[in-house]
Amino acid sequence: MMGGRALLLLLLVSALLVQIRASDPLLYESFDEDFEGRWVVSKKDEYQGVWKRAKSDGHEDYGLLVSEKARKYAIIKELDEPVTLKDGTVVLQFEVRLQNGLECGGAYIKYIRPQESGWDAKEFDNETPYTIMFGPDKCGSTNKVHFILKHKSPKTGKYVEHHLKFPPSVPYDKLSHVYTAILKPDNEVRILIDGEEKKKANFLSADDFEPALIPPKTIPDPDDKKPEDWDERAKIPDPNAVKPDDWDEDAPMEIEDVEATKPEGWLDDEPEEIDDPEASKPEDWDDEEDGEWEAPKIDNPKCEEAPGCGEWKRPMKQNPAYKGKWHAPLIDNPNYKGIWKPQEIPNPEYFELDKPDFDPIAAIGIEIWTMQDGILFDNILIADDEKVATSILEKTWKPKYEVEKEKEKAEEAAAAADGLSEFQKKVFDILYKIADVPFLAPYKTKIIDVIEKGEKQPNITLGILVSVVVVFVTVLFRILFGGKKPAAPVKPAVEVKKPKATETDGAGSSGDKVENEDEKEETAAPRRRSRRET
């Protein structure tokens, strides 16, 4: 009886120890202590970026910091024991804060497979083989949370890089975020950001990974060649077709409308533009040095009410006799054989697979090339229990994120109270660009005045936007349908004298040239300078 109780007690203690062991992380790095001695910085020449242990902005929590811009970085931590990925659940999780954003660079982690005997961690670089690469990467059109698996083909023995299709995007802010990849024994992988599932995939599905882990059963025969007489044209010109006798290929597309008559009230003797009567020759204008002064042009006010000014010409209309170049009509090709494809043959590299043959994780490494500094890695975790990952996320990341989010909201509210919101700034930037459209030159000064008034009174932004768009559309409509030519660019009422040629050294010549061009642009359409140009 006593022996049975002792055995039961032993089983309970064993089960408890197993449960405690299962709840411990396989790896957890919080950077609460200095990383030197535990992490190894690559000694390869190309990795000049300096890693630092630093506090996250606004927190007392430490992380591993990318401290310089436009550098390559590489650092690695070898595990006490390799982590197997073949059997149960494995969770890969880490925290990243892009404190200065991420315009071009990576913030991912490489999970390194066991290396050959004699390998030195100081040699860690881009060529070091890994099992999984996971995390944010952004540059140009690339904006994704990578999940890449390197899998060894049991048929060829070669490693193939398999990319997750349609991965989630990187959050577009400067807050702390947690990236989690959960690998399940049923071949499922789930990608989470901040604890929220963003992607679910199956390792063995061709729809989820490119290329697929399981190769296709057949492939196009590389030795098969298209026969020389193979005709892929579905349609051909009718060889029996003849151009009609009345088909005139030289007839113009448009002809003068002989039935058109000059509108009543057309002002033949009035020019479309006249000299600005309010403009006057500058007092310091020198005809010999600056040339003959000409007043800037404005629209002739007499033409505003009239149908048109200047020489009247009959408008053009579509030529009913126009047919263009004659082509024989297309008919079905009697010799059409379809689009040629090489025949399929059995794929010599095909294999079947019940589950991926993952290599173990023997080390974790960060090997990146980034144009930003301020990237902070923290709370790197490998666990065999999702609850452990969730618990660490709740305790370490969530409180920081809530503080950062509140600070962000307060800053946005202060910016809105202080002046223009980010949206309003973008609207006014667009309006200034509209004001610079060439055919709006005669109205530019008035448009700028309206925009500047809107900047001082942000509550009327929408009304300002509508007003400028109405002016733009009205002028464009008048140009297209009003019978007038586009207004010529306004000539300066006051022109800056050209500087006399002087000798400059090579370092200053280009700067002088740009400055003079700016002066010309400034005098091309005289107006009051806005605060955005100062």
> 421 and 387 in one domain?
no
- Asked whether residue 196 is domain-assigned, the answer is yes
One-letter identity of residue 161? E
> 454 and 365 in one domain?
no
pLDDT at 261 over 80: yes
- Asked whether residue 442 is domain-assigned, the answer is yes
Considering only CA atoms, give the Rg of the chain.
37
> 66 and 156 in one domain?
yes
Write out the DSSP string of 285-323: --HHHH-S--PPEEE-GGGTTSS-BSS--PPEEE-TT--
Q: Residue 203 sits in a domain of what CATH number?
A: 2.60.120.200
514-524 pLDDT, tens digit each:
344 444 444 33
> 364 and 467 in one domain?
no
Tracing tokens 């008048």 back to the chain, one arrives at 478
Q: How far apart are CA 172 and CA 150, in angstroms?
A: 28
181-229 pLDDT, tens digit each:
999 999 999 999 999 999 999 999 999 999 999 999 999 999 999 999 9
> 469 and 362 in one domain?
no
**pLDDT interval class at 470 (50, 70, 90):** confident
Q: Which long-range contacts (CB under 8 A, 24 or more apart) does 271-274 make?
A: 271/300, 271/309, 271/310, 272/299, 272/300, 272/303, 272/309, 272/310, 272/484, 272/485, 273/297, 273/298, 273/299, 273/300, 273/487, 273/488, 274/298, 274/300
- Asked whether residue 399 is domain-assigned, the answer is no
Q: What is the three-state SS of 63-109? A: EEEECCCCEEEEEEEEEEEEECCCCCCEEEEEEEEECCCCCEEECCE
> 179 and 124 in one domain?
yes
* 21-25, 52-56, 431-435, 484-488: least confidently modelled range: 484-488
pLDDT at 530 over 90: no
Provide the 10 A C-beta neighbour count for residue 370. Answer: 25
Higher pLDDT, 158 or 434: 158
Mean pLDDT to the nearest integer, 359-383: 96
Q: How far apart are CA 266 and CA 435, in angstroms?
A: 31
Distances in whole angstroms, Cα of residue 460 to Cα of each of 331, 456, 463: 63, 9, 5
> 463 and 366 in one domain?
no
Q: How far apart are CA 435 and CA 475, in angstroms?
A: 12
> 126 and 76 in one domain?
yes
200 is in which domain, residue-wise? 22-220+355-393
- Asked whether residue 265 is domain-assigned, the answer is no
Give the side-chain half-sphere CA count within 13 A for 115.
Answer: 20
Contacts of residue 260, Cβ cutoff 8 Å, sequence gap at least 6: 314, 315
What integer pLDDT is reported at residue 167 of this predicted model? Answer: 96
- Asked whether residue 434 is domain-assigned, the answer is yes
- Asked whether residue 289 is domain-assigned, the answer is no
**pLDDT interval class at 4 (50, 70, 90):** low
**pLDDT interval class at 423 (50, 70, 90):** low
Q: How far apart are CA 130 and CA 108, in angstroms?
A: 13
Query: Are the C-beta atoms of residues 134 and 91 closer than 8 Å to each other?
Result: no
> 131 and 162 in one domain?
yes
Indicate the number of domains in the chain. Answer: 2
What integer pLDDT is reported at residue 27 of this predicted model? Answer: 95
> 85 and 190 in one domain?
yes
Mean pLDDT to the nearest integer, 279-305: 90
> 211 and 144 in one domain?
yes
Q: How far apart are CA 76 and CA 82, in angstroms?
A: 14
> 136 and 42 in one domain?
yes
